[in-house]
Structure 1
Amino acid sequence: MAETIGFAIVSALATATGTAITVSATTASVIGSLAITTASVGANLLISSLNQPKPRNETQQSVLNQAIGPRVGVYGRTIVGGSRFLFETRNGALMQGIVLAAHGIDAIEKYLIGDRYAQVVQISTDGDGRWQVTDFPQINVVSYENHLGADGQAASPYLLGQFPGIWTSEHRLRGLAYVAVQFLGVKREEQQLVYPQSYATPLRFLIRGKKVWDPTNPAHNPDDKSTFGFSEIAADCILDYLLSADGARFRRSKIDIASFQDAHNLHAETVARKDGSTEFRYRLSGTYRFDEAPKDVLTRMLATCDGRLVRGPTGLIGLRGGRYIAPTVTIATRSIVRASLAQGNDRLDTYNRLKVSYSDPDAYYQPTELQARQDTASQAQIGVVDEAIDLAMVPSWTQAARLAKIKYARDHPAWKGTLATDLSALNAMGEDTVRITYDPLGEVDPGPMMDTVAELPAFGLRADMSGCDLSFSAIDSAAYAWNPATEEPPRPALPTYVPPINDVPIPSGVNVSQSLRSGQAYAVLAWNASPRPDTTPQPQYRNNTGDDGDYVGMTIRSDGQSAEAGPLTNGQTYRFRVRFVAGGTPSAWSNAVTLLIDTTP
């Protein structure tokens, strides 16, 4: 019916104006459906309709103490902190409960204590697994019990055992991903070493976030979340946010699923890097708060794939962008009533250096700045004019570089402007790109003044139905081409590598001897040289009589392989040990050696 109405209206217009107007069946259907009101294509239409006054997102890598903490969602793989719901001592241990995400997650991959990853071993299947730290200095004193946020998850056995009668089987925290953490008490002289920030020792978690629907996977049932799986593919995460009750809240019947299937296949394509490795074309990783405006969240998500949400001729919301689409429709001079053109951006009205930041996994998913993309010729003429793009949900420097190239090309088109056309331009509705050929002198040899492929950021039908008004911006297929050998920038410098504890060698060949000087006894502790040149020794001793007293430091000798202490008390036994430290990370202590002081001649 809509198509019939559309053709009837177009025919009536043609009769009234005496002008032959040719439009496609699809265009006629759109005209009928919209009753000749207004149509728009190419822009993020959905974004503008989701503008709600909500606060911007804040960092999610801190553990917060709040009565009612922020509800946080997580897509892809990233590091998070969380909100404490429990912080109590019991039976000589500090117990913490930390919510990581306000939904189910796929897995907790790693645990960070301070600024390093802790090595762990699974010690039970309680909850979704209980894990014990196995490296120095938290070996056997820190443990975690995981709960991944299943709708039917049981209460924490850890907390049930530690808080009987207070924490009950009804405290299930269903639908919340959380960990129960236990800090065991340690000797007073070891507290500063094991818990350098005491009870506030920072805890963070590398997690695989929300399981989402992959519309290309037949095994995924959109009505059964238990069939979903983990995905970093941008299209899958964007689709999930659009449908989520804690996201944009759209019904599935309003979504163009086919466009998301097509986008998934594009985003899952592999792209080569200079070193020969590959990556998915468009990945997405990051967090959002439930009290954020959906437009803000979607803006961050769409930036990971050069994406835009559009309403097609049927009114469904689809995902486009991320690649070059050759045009199938041409708007020619004969259809153009009026034109306002600019050849390229005005160099005084645009930037010539684009600064780019992304979230690097090897920098703990903190903002990392990529080498700027710039136009040195323009800078020589007018100086440096900066623009910045924050790709907070992009976890790859090469993906960030490809997106920066696309943005720079889109913001510096060969042609841009506005056109007033007759109704034949309606054939361009719903197209990713169109070819525009225009010459103010008419279609004469040797060819049009402007012949370009362009995107249409805005497209409207005039109220008097006399024609269309549109804006255009040229786009070149070269913006999406990528040659890693010549275009891949150097990887940004990452934080100084702090070796894991097992990489710092334990001193060997440790021995102690007595040295007499003017009748007084001194101890000399010696060890073999470290196989790593970046280590420094840390020798200690204490009076072992009665097995009490704190360890104190020794004076390291100039050879770097021995240390001394004294004068020491005759008849007393002393204990000695040494460890190596590299990059702030210590090894385990050597085996202790003892020495009985004897000053008898």
Structure 2
Amino acid sequence: MLQLIDYLTRVDGGMGHDYSIVIAPRIAEWMVEADICDAIVDRADGGQEARYASHGWYQYGNNPEDVINGILSTCDGWMCEDVDGTIALKVGLYRAPTGDAISSSNILGFANIQFGQADESAVNQLDMTFTDPNQGYVTVQPSPYRDEEAISALGVERAKPLDLKWVQSNGQASRLAQRAMLRANPDITCTIITDLTALDWVGERWVPLKYPFIAGLENCVMENQGSELDLGAGRITFNFNLVVPTKVEDYNPGVDEKPAPPVPPPSPGAGGSGLDFGNQFNSGYLVLLEDI
């Protein structure tokens, strides 16, 4: 999270936002997210590691969206600008929302309600790639993360790439793939239009919803996929995915962690790590963000 704060507020090579405006009012919340990233979790080999670590680099001319997405991809991160101009952040550890749920009294309309995914858009396999320090920091592809039940039901594999180049751990890549698979195939997606009483939920990732007139939405939690505020019309448009909390955190490293790619034997006469940033450093435009 310190990486992201640095990039968002860095004048030279970052986005140059005013720290006192976008981060400082929420710094306590950001530090909670940083602690979640640093929490120690188990790996399949019996070892342990931080839940989420980020190691990457970018050049000054890189698209800011790509840099931010690179960092967020390492922690299943969710970020948005709240109504007060601050930047809200939630990393990938589900926490039940508190506060009054959005209900029928707040809802002005629905659009694009979809139950499940159409066969042609379903995803049942994620082809992960991450950066492996054991192989000279090259991008490697472990075993795909597959939903065998969904593959069997559909009768065909529908694969999607999952680029985790800022991740350097096979265990972390598997944890992120499990969460990405759930997000790719939500049980319900919808667009909900509310009045301004739902304003407090614009900057929240998980939003409680109580709508007794649609099956599955009677008393549930939705993940905020983006919102649009129209003060003139007095309405907010939310894009939501249904969240099943028991599924989101149902990860067992002994079962769900994919085998790490084998490390090939070194070539005769080879030495060093194989890591060479010479050209990038010589350009004078490289910024390293090493787990800060």
- Scaled by the length of structure 1, the TM-score of the pair is 0.41
Give CA-to-partner distance per residue, 1:348-377, whole Å, 9 cap, x none. Answer: 223221110000110111011122122334
Corresponding residue to 1:429 among 182, 193, 202: 202
Provide closer, same or farther for how the CA distance between residues 337 and 319 of structure 1 changes in structure 2, counting only shifts above 3 A.
closer
Alignment of 1:120-519 (within 5 A): 235-244=1-10, 245-256=12-23, 257-328=27-98, 329-340=100-111, 341-380=113-152, 381-440=154-213, 450-462=218-230, 464-477=232-245, 478-496=247-265, 498=266
**Which segments of 5 or more consecutive residues in structure 1 lack a partner in the other structure?**
1-234, 442-446, 499-582, 587-601
Structure ranking higher in strand proportion: 1
Count of aligned residue pairs for this structure pair: 262
Separation in structure 1 between the aligned mates of residue 218 and residue 119 of structure 2, nearest angstrom: 20
The 8 Å contact of residues 239 and 260 in structure 1, kept in 2 or not, is answered as no
Alignment of 1:30-49 (within 5 A): none
Separation in structure 1 between the aligned mates of residue 180 and residue 54 of structure 2, nearest angstrom: 18
Separation in structure 2 between the aligned mates of residue 424 and residue 296 of structure 1, nearest angstrom: 34
Match of 1:150 in 2: none
SS in 1 for 2:227: strand
The 8 Å contact of residues 131 and 139 in structure 2, kept in 1 or not, is answered as yes
Pairwise CA distance, 1:585: 4.3
Alignment of 1:586-597 (within 5 A): none
SS in 2 for 1:468: strand
SS in 2 for 1:324: coil
Provide closer, same or farther for how the CA distance between residues 240 and 298 of structure 1 changes in structure 2, counting only shifts above 3 A.
same
Query: Given residue 333 of structure 1, which amino acid in structure 2 is its aligned partner?
Result: S
Separation in structure 2 between the aligned mates of residue 268 and residue 461 of structure 1, nearest angstrom: 34
Query: Given residue 87 of structure 2, which amino acid in structure 1 is its aligned partner?
Result: I
- Scaled by the length of structure 2, the TM-score of the pair is 0.81
Pairwise CA distance, 1:313: 4.1
The 8 Å contact of residues 309 and 320 in structure 1, kept in 2 or not, is answered as yes
**Which segments of 5 or more consecutive residues in structure 2 lack a partner in the other structure?**
271-292
The 8 Å contact of residues 325 and 432 in structure 1, kept in 2 or not, is answered as no
Matched, 1:584 2:268: yes
Separation in structure 2 between the aligned mates of residue 448 and residue 369 of structure 1, nearest angstrom: 37
The 8 Å contact of residues 88 and 204 in structure 2, kept in 1 or not, is answered as no
SS in 1 for 2:89: strand
Pairwise CA distance, 1:468: 3.0
Query: Given residue 182 of structure 2, which amino acid in structure 1 is its aligned partner?
Result: A
Give CA-to-partner distance per residue, 1:476-521, whole Å, 9 cap, x none. Answer: 323234321222222222222x3xxxxxxxxxxxxxxxxxxxxxxx
SS in 1 for 2:34: helix
Which structure is larger by alpha-carbon Rg, 1 or 2? Answer: 1
RMSD across aligned positions (CA) = 2.3
The 8 Å contact of residues 410 and 474 in structure 1, kept in 2 or not, is answered as no
Pairwise CA distance, 1:282: 1.0
Separation in structure 2 between the aligned mates of residue 449 and residue 300 of structure 1, nearest angstrom: 33
The 8 Å contact of residues 310 and 320 in structure 1, kept in 2 or not, is answered as no
Provide closer, same or farther for how the CA distance between residues 343 and 448 of structure 1 changes in structure 2, counting only shifts above 3 A.
closer
Give CA-to-partner distance per residue, 1:519-561, whole Å, 9 cap, x none. Answer: xxxxxxxxxxxxxxxxxxxxxxxxxxxxxxxxxxxxxxxxxxx
SS in 2 for 1:348: helix
SS in 1 for 2:74: coil
The 8 Å contact of residues 458 and 471 in structure 1, kept in 2 or not, is answered as yes
The 8 Å contact of residues 207 and 223 in structure 2, kept in 1 or not, is answered as yes
Query: Given residue 66 of structure 2, which amino acid in structure 1 is its aligned partner?
Result: D
Provide closer, same or farther for how the CA distance between residues 243 and 466 of structure 1 changes in structure 2, counting only shifts above 3 A.
closer
Pairwise CA distance, 1:315: 1.3
Separation in structure 2 between the aligned mates of residue 448 and residue 475 of structure 1, nearest angstrom: 11
Provide closer, same or farther for how the CA distance between residues 312 and 335 of structure 1 changes in structure 2, counting only shifts above 3 A.
closer
Query: Given residue 319 of structure 1, which amino acid in structure 2 is its aligned partner?
Result: L
Provide closer, same or farther for how the CA distance between residues 336 and 355 of structure 1 changes in structure 2, counting only shifts above 3 A.
same
Pairwise CA distance, 1:393: 0.7
Relative contact order (C-alpha < 8 Å, sep 6+): which is higher? 2
Q: More deviation in 241-250 or 282-291? A: 241-250
Separation in structure 2 between the aligned mates of residue 448 and residue 481 of structure 1, nearest angstrom: 20
Provide closer, same or farther for how the CA distance between residues 243 and 436 of structure 1 changes in structure 2, counting only shifts above 3 A.
same
Provide closer, same or farther for how the CA distance between residues 493 and 346 of structure 1 changes in structure 2, counting only shifts above 3 A.
same
Pairwise CA distance, 1:297: 1.4
Pairwise CA distance, 1:280: 0.8
Pairwise CA distance, 1:450: 4.1
Query: Given residue 93 of structure 2, which amino acid in structure 1 is its aligned partner?
Result: R
Give CA-to-partner distance per residue, 1:58-88, whole Å, 9 cap, x none. Answer: xxxxxxxxxxxxxxxxxxxxxxxxxxxxxxx
